[in-house]
């Protein structure tokens, strides 16, 4: 591992006030399983949040392009590119209050007043978000403006921020297989930015990631596949070309922790093209909700669930929450919300995404004795996502 001091104002290595940019060898993790970088989970999963599972990577579509992994020798150009992007990124730290845990990830600064792009799974389950800007070394409280769970993207807003340096964005449509790239982020949640050099090995890839704890799943499509040592904590960080332009957002990592992708060779990662991410970001910033995009606070019934035959099996109930007020208990099965059938944990999550705190909904469930129940309840404000 090499150490390179960095400066927020220089692309060439120079002494800086926010740590060192540490290059990571790709070879060291080439045999590790690919995994979704689940916000560096530092505790066991509770009512929400991503936990280790066994997702499967789908076969590439006919339009996709791939090539064998090529172990890239670190280059000065990519080192310089990594240095130049650091002032335009942030470290994202979350408190997972319902899980009694913490999380860490990365974000890309889009506006000087603190609009930041990151992965939804970086902030999912958060009860508090704090963000450290690497351009000025200041820490801010942050809130979620909106998220697209199905595409694993979120926009967060820093409180009382101004004058932030923004990331230089490129055109992901111009990315080609074989292009040299470098991922930059908060690897391991240690706070010091690190760089992972590699190459693009595939375009237009599709991955299905599932959570064995809750039974929920998501399909990420149109992904850029890379050979680079992306790690937990890098999620939401920039994938940068040799010109120092952000061409994608790191989302999946080569690591034995977090979500693992079977049927995909070791040492590979996946990133969301920046053009796609910006399209979602603009929709969120405009306040345009849809069946995929949720704007504002997250509605909450106060249960942890997994998929069961006939619905979402209640595994735990948050004391004092809406579900607790209705008398729901572990082993009950939620079957519908406002007349819309719920056949899985994912469908319950999707149903909640269509509502906001304060909404009144009718919940239908089958209790542990087999009796069908229904009642109206007012949704509370819950953790993010």
Whether the CB-CB separation of 147 and 293 falls below 8 Å is answered with yes
Whether the CB-CB separation of 58 and 66 falls below 8 Å is answered with no
> Which candidate, 309, 297, 252, 248, places its Cα nearest to that of 276?
248
Q: Of the listed 79, 133, 148, 152, which one is catalytic?
A: 152
Burial class (CB in 10 A: 0-12, 13-18, 19+), 11: middle
At which residue do the structure tokens 């959570």 appear? 211
Q: Of the listed 23, 84, 235, 304, which one is catalytic?
A: 235
- 20-24 and 194-210 beta bridge pairing: parallel
**Cα Rg of the chain, angstroms:** 21
> Which candidate, 84, 58, 59, 62, places its Cα nearest to that of 6?
84
Query: What is the longest distance spanned by two Cα atoms in the chain?
Result: 69
Q: Of the listed 121, 294, 355, 364, which one is catalytic?
A: 121
Phi, psi for 255 (deg, rounded to 5): -160, 155
- Concerning whether 235 is annotated as a catalytic residue, the answer is yes
> Which candidate, 152, 130, 156, places its Cα nearest to that of 143?
156
At which residue do the structure tokens 């996709």 appear? 64
Tokens representing 320 are 């004092």
Q: Cβ neighbours of residue 13 under 8 Å, at least 6 residues apart?
A: 4, 5, 6, 21, 79, 83
> Which candidate, 16, 20, 25, places its Cα nearest to that of 231?
25
Question: How many degrees, rounded to 5, is the angle at CA 128 between CA 274 and CA 36?
Answer: 40
- Concerning whether 121 is annotated as a catalytic residue, the answer is yes
Partnered with residue 101 across adjacent β-strands are 96
Residues with a catalytic annotation lie at 121, 152, 235
């Amino acid at each position: 591992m090499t150490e390179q001091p960095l400066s927020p104002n220089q692309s060439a290595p120079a002494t800086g006030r926010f740590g060192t940019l540490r290059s990571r060898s790709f070879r060291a993790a080439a045999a590790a399983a690919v995994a979704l970088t689940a916000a560096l989970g530092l505790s066991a999963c509770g009512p929400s949040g991503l936990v280790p599972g066994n997702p499967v990577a789908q076969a590439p579509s006919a339009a996709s392009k791939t090539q064998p992994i090529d172990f890239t020798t670190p280059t000065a150009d990519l080192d310089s590119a990594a240095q130049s992007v650091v002032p335009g990124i942030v470290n994202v730290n979350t408190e997972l209050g319902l899980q009694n845990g913490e999380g860490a990830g990365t974000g890309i600064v889009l506006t000087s007043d603190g609009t930041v792009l990151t992965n939804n799974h970086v902030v999912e389950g958060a009860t508090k978000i704090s963000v450290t800007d690497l351009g000025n070394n200041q820490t801010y409280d942050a809130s979620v403006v909106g998220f697209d769970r199905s595409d694993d993207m979120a926009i967060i807003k820093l409180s009382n921020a101004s004058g932030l340096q923004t990331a230089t964005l490129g055109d992901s449509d111009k990315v080609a297989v074989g292009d040299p790239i470098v991922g930059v982020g908060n690897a391991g949640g240690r706070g010091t930015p690190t760089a992972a050099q590699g190459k693009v090995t595939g375009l237009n890839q599709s991955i299905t990631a599932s959570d064995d704890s809750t039974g929920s799943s998501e399909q990420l499509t149109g992904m850029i596949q890379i050979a680079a040592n992306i790690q937990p904590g890098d999620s939401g960080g920039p994938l940068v070309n040799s010109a120092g332009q952000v061409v994608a957002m790191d989302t999946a990592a080569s690591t034995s922790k977090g979500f693992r992708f079977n049927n995909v060779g070791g040492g590979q990662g996946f990133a969301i093209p920046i053009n796609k991410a910006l399209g979602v970001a603009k929709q969120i910033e405009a306040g345009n909700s849809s069946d995929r995009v949720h704007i504002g606070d997250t509605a909450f019934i106060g249960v942890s669930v997994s998929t069961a035959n006939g619905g979402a099996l209640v595994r735990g109930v948050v004391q004092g929450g809406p579900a607790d007020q209705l008398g729901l208990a572990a082993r009950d099965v939620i079957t519908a919300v406002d007349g819309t059938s719920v056949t899985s944990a994912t469908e319950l999550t999707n149903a909640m995404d269509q509502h906001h705190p304060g909404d009144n909904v009718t919940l239908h469930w089958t209790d542990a004795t087999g009796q069908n129940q229904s009642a109206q309840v007012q949704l509370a404000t819950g953790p993010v996502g």
